[in-house]
C-alpha cells in the first residue's frame, strides 16, 4: 500500500492490490477505423458517446449495441449532453465548430463557431452553458445550451483538458501546456485563480471530491496523480500512475479515483481521508485506452481503444506513420 498522511508519503506492501474487484467485464466492437478521443455517458438515457474520426458513435450502455451516429464532426474530441433542453454538443477540432444535435434522433440542429481547435467539452447545469476548451486560441468558449448562441469567452491563456465543477460553483480545468489548474466563474467568465501544480507536468485528467474539496490531477510527465486542495491550490501529495493518462473520474460512494492511461492500465486510488490515500490496484485494460467515462448508476467504466499499425516513413529520419488497424476499435467495460 502507498498512502499519504500528514503530508508524508509512506510505502508498505501492496496488499490492497486488486481489492476493488474491478476488471474488464465486456468488450464491444464498434465499426469504423478512424482515430478516437473522449468517451461521454448519458447515464439516465443509457447511452455512451464515442468520438471516432469524423463522427460520434452512440452505443447502448447496457448492451453495447449501436444505436446511432452523429456524422460530419471533423476531428471530433468529445460530446456533452444538456438533457433538460434535449440538446447534445460535440467539439469538432478540425473545423473550429461545435455540432448541436438532437440526442433522440442525432439530427443536426446547427453548427456553432467557437475558438480555434476545440477539444474538451462539458456542460454546467447551474449556468445552463456548454464550454469548449480551445487549444488553438488558448481560451474557452461558453455556449447557451438552450439556444446554441455563444455567450462569451474565458481568457484561460492555456490549453484546457478535463474540467470539473466545484462545490463553490466555479469550474476547475487542467491547463495542459502551462501546468496549472485554471479556475473560472462560469457565469461572469472571469478567471478567479491559477494554481501551479509544480510537482508534475502536462496535466490532463481531472477528478474532484466535493466532500473533501480535493482535486485529483492526472499528469503525463513523470506520470502522477497529484492531490490538490481546491480552496488554496496547496499540493497535498503525488502518487505514481500509468503512462499516458488522459482522463480521470471519482466515485464519491466508494471514494475511489480512477485514471485511464494509454499504456493499458486503469490506475485506482482510494481516498481514506482528505490527506490520506492508498493504491487500490491498477486494472489491466488495453494499450491506447486513455480516455473513459464513469457511470454513476452502475459504477462501471467505459473506455475506447484500438490496435495500431505503423508504416515506415519514406524519410528514415522521420517517425513512422501510425494508423488504426481496421476492425480493431472497441468499447471496453470495466466493472465488478
Is the alpha carbon torsion for 177, 180, 184, 190 positive or negative? negative
HSE (side-chain half, CA atoms, 13 Å) at 58: 22
pLDDT at 127: 98
Residue 7 has pLDDT above 50, yes or no: no
Place 317 in a pLDDT band, splitting at 50, 70 and 90.
confident
pLDDT at 300: 98
Residue 221 has pLDDT above 80, yes or no: yes
CB atoms within 10 A of CB 200: 19
pLDDT at 152: 98
**Average pLDDT score over residue span 183-193:** 98
Q: State the average pLDDT for the chain.
A: 93
Residue 28 has pLDDT above 80, yes or no: yes
Residue 6 has pLDDT above 50, yes or no: no
pLDDT at 99: 98
**Average pLDDT score over residue span 298-306:** 98
**Average pLDDT score over residue span 75-94:** 98
| Lowest-confidence segment of 30-39, 133-142, 253-262, 307-316 by average pLDDT | 307-316
Residue 11 has pLDDT above 50, yes or no: no
How confident is the model over 103-116, as pLDDT tens digits? 999 999 999 999 99
Radius of gyration of the chain (CA): 19
| Lowest-confidence segment of 17-31, 51-65, 117-131 by average pLDDT | 17-31
DSSP assigned state of 282: P
Strands 265-273 and 283-284: antiparallel
Give me the residue label for grid cell 461558453.
142
**Average pLDDT score over residue span 307-323:** 85
Region of 327 please: left (phi>0), alpha (psi -120 to 50) or beta. Answer: left
Residue 238 has pLDDT above 60, yes or no: yes
| Lowest-confidence segment of 39-43, 180-184, 326-330 by average pLDDT | 326-330
Place 32 in a pLDDT band, splitting at 50, 70 and 90.
confident
**Average pLDDT score over residue span 168-172:** 98
Query: Minimal CA–CA distance to 237: which of 260, 208, 257, 214?
Result: 214
**Average pLDDT score over residue span 278-300:** 97
pLDDT at 5: 41
C-alpha span between 268 and 283 (Å, rounded):
8
Place 323 in a pLDDT band, splitting at 50, 70 and 90.
confident
Place 205 in a pLDDT band, splitting at 50, 70 and 90.
very high
**Average pLDDT score over residue span 322-333:** 92
C-alpha cell at 296: 454513476
Residue ranges and CATH numbers for the domains of the chain are 20-309+323-335 (2.130.10.10)
C-alpha 220, offset from chain centre: 13
Q: Phi and psi for 282 in degrees, rounded to 5?
A: -80, 150
Is the alpha carbon torsion for 125, 205, 268, 208 positive or negative? negative
pLDDT at 18: 56
Residue 25 has pLDDT above 90, yes or no: yes
Place 319 in a pLDDT band, splitting at 50, 70 and 90.
confident
Amino acid at each position: 500500500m502507498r498512502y499519504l498522511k500528514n503530508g508524508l508519503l509512506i510505502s508498505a506492501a501492496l496488499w490492497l492490490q486488486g481489492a476493488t474487484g474491478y476488471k474488464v467485464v465486456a468488450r464491444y466492437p464498434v465499426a469504423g477505423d478512424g482515430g478516437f478521443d473522449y468517451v461521454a455517458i448519458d447515464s439516465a438515457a443509457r447511452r455512451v458517446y464515442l468520438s471516432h474520426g469524423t463522427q460520434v458513435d452512440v452505443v447502448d450502455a447496457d448492451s453495447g449495441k449501436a444505436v446511432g451516429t452523429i456524422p460530419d464532426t471533423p476531428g471530433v474530441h468529445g460530446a456533452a449532453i444538456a438533457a433538460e433542453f434535449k440538446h447534445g454538443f460535440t467539439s469538432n477540432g478540425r473545423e473550429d465548430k461545435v455540432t448541436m444535435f438532437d440526442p433522440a434522433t442525432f439530427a443536426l440542429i446547427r453548427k456553432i463557431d467557437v475558438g480555434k481547435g476545440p477539444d474538451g467539452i462539458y456542460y454546467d447545469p447551474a449556468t445552463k452553458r456548454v464550454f469548449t476548451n480551445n487549444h488553438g486560441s488558448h481560451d474557452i468558449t461558453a455556449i447557451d445550451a438552450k439556444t446554441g448562441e455563444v455567450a462569451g469567452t474565458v481568457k484561460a491563456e492555456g490549453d484546457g483538458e478535463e474540467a470539473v465543477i466545484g462545490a463553490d460553483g466555479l469550474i476547475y480545468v487542467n491547463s495542459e501546456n502551462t501546468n496549472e489548474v485554471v479556475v473560472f466563474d462560469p457565469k461572469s467568465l472571469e478567471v478567479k485563480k491559477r494554481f501551479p501544480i509544480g510537482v508534475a507536468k502536462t496535466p490532463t485528467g481531472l477528478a474532484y471530491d466535493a466532500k473533501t474539496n480535493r482535486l485529483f490531477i492526472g499528469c503525463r510527465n513523470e506520470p502522477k496523480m497529484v492531490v490538490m486542495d481546491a480552496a488554496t491550490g496547496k499540493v497535498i501529495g503525488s502518487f505514481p500512475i500509468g503512462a499516458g493518462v488522459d482522463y480521470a473520474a471519482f466515485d464519491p460512494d466508494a471514494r475511489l479515483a480512477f485514471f485511464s492511461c494509454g499504456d493499458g492500465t486503469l490506475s485506482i486510488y482510494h481516498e481514506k481521508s482528505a490527506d490520506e490515500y492508498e493504491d487500490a490496484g491498477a486494472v489491466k485494460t488495453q494499450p491506447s485506452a486513455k480516455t473513459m467515462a464513469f457511470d454513476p448508476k452502475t459504477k462501471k467504466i467505459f473506455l475506447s481503444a484500438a490496435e495500431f499499425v505503423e508504416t515506415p516513413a519514406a524519410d528514415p529520419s522521420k517517425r513512422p506513420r501510425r494508423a488504426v488497424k481496421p476492425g480493431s476499435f472497441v468499447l471496453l467495460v470495466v466493472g465488478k
